[in-house]
């Protein structure tokens, strides 16, 4: 498999397009008035919001949403740890001969460094999922706070494992215009997903697995979580691993 690792190269490429679009809006408003200018303004703003809120949008920088393979392989990604679920999930992965990438929150990793080292020791990947996981406001962070979230998590995870993460997942998948510059500087590639079951909020194991299975395909990136308040993430991972085995899928870690 060719490496799909693509850090941003031009983190500010969106800015000229934004300025051009708003210039066109101003010209249309001046030329034809609000009946055209107002809907055109709303349309251009909607595109900008789509770039923030759609996890697979590459408007503000490259994002990986599937692996470049035709084989029955999937990439398991597990967000929000380390947590009280981590050890049990690691045992499940071992039992199925499966590998996953854990996208870890820096402050949580600093509080449970032994779990982070155990993830690495067992041959799993470790990714950057921000320093503090500001779930409600990540989409709105300015450049200084965004850089602190990305770089702070890098420093914390590197200090624990001795290795610098190469993959980044935006909190809730929301990536605003300011995320690409620190990703470029840290050599991080942003990862989205193609199969998800909303396992962080849904307590129905069968419903979660059904949603994930509908997204399964060769090269699918599967989004999972650990440590959710409902307490059923370990059970969900166990059932998913059983289902992947039954469907003939194997798990892979892409080359960074």
Catalytic position from the list 199, 225, 230, 245: 225
Smallest CA-to-CA distance from 104 within 116, 117, 122 is with 116
| pLDDT band with cut points at 50, 70 and 90 for residue 39 | confident
Distance of alpha carbon 129 from alpha carbon 105, whole angstroms: 5
Kindly state whether residue 9 falls inside one of the protein's structural domains. Answer: no
Tell whether 171 and 245 lie within a shared domain: yes
Tell whether 214 and 112 lie within a shared domain: yes
Tell whether 181 and 99 lie within a shared domain: yes
Distance of alpha carbon 222 from alpha carbon 196, whole angstroms: 6
Kindly state whether residue 8 falls inside one of the protein's structural domains. Answer: no
Residue 49's domain comprises 14-53
Distance of alpha carbon 165 from alpha carbon 186, whole angstroms: 9
Catalytic position from the list 79, 80, 85, 199: 79
| pLDDT band with cut points at 50, 70 and 90 for residue 1 | low
| pLDDT band with cut points at 50, 70 and 90 for residue 122 | very high
| pLDDT band with cut points at 50, 70 and 90 for residue 91 | very high
Kindly state whether residue 1 falls inside one of the protein's structural domains. Answer: no
Kindly state whether residue 5 falls inside one of the protein's structural domains. Answer: no
The SS3 assignment for 154 reads helix
Tell whether 89 and 25 lie within a shared domain: no
Task: Tell me the pTM.
Answer: 0.94
pLDDT at 2: 67
Q: Which residues pair with 66 in a beta bridge?
A: 220
Helical spans, DSSP H, in the chain: 14-32, 34-53, 86-95, 106-111, 113-121, 143-161, 180-186, 205-215, 233-247
The CA angle 155-161-166, to the nearest 5 degrees, is 65
Kindly state whether residue 7 falls inside one of the protein's structural domains. Answer: no
Distance of alpha carbon 198 from alpha carbon 207, whole angstroms: 9
Q: What is the CA radius of gyration of the chain?
A: 20
The CB-side HSE value for 110 (13 A sphere, CA atoms) comes to 12
Q: Is 202 assigned a catalytic role? A: no
Kindly state whether residue 232 falls inside one of the protein's structural domains. Answer: yes
Number of domains in the chain: 2
- How is residue 51 written in tokens? 């770039």
Tell whether 91 and 161 lie within a shared domain: yes
Tell whether 202 and 244 lie within a shared domain: yes
User: Which of the listed residues 53, 78, 100 is the one where a domain comes to its end?
Assistant: 53
Mean pLDDT, range 98-107, rounded to an integer = 98
Q: Is 79 assigned a catalytic role? A: yes
């Amino acid at each position: 498999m060719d490496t799909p690792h693509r850090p941003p190269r031009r983190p500010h490429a969106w800015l000229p397009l934004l300025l051009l679009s708003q210039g066109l809006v101003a010209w249309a408003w001046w030329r034809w008035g609000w009946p055209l200018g107002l809907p055109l303004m709303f349309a251009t703003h909607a595109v900008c919001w789509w770039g923030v809120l759609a996890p697979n949008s590459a408007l503000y920088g490259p994002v990986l949403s599937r692996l470049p393979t035709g084989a029955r392989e999937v990439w398991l990604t597990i967000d929000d740890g380390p947590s009280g679920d981590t050890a049990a999930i690691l045992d499940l992965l071992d039992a199925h001969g499966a590998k996953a990438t854990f996208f870890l929150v820096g402050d949580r990793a600093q509080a449970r460094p032994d779990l982070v080292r155990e993830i690495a020791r067992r041959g799993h990947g470790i990714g950057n999922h921000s320093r503090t996981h500001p779930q409600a406001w990540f989409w709105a962070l300015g450049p200084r706070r965004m850089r602190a979230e990305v770089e702070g998590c890098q420093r914390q995870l590197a200090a624990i494992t001795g290795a610098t993460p190469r993959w980044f997942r935006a909190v809730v998948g929301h990536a605003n215009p300011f995320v690409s510059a620190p990703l470029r500087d840290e050599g991080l590639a942003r990862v989205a997903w193609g199969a998800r079951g909303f396992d962080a909020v849904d307590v129905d194991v069968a419903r979660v697995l059904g949603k994930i299975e509908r997204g399964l395909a060769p090269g699918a990136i599967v989004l999972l979580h650990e440590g959710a308040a409902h307490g059923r993430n370990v059970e969900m991972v166990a059932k998913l691993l059983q289902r992947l085995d039954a469907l003939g899928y194997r798990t892979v870690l892409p080359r960074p």
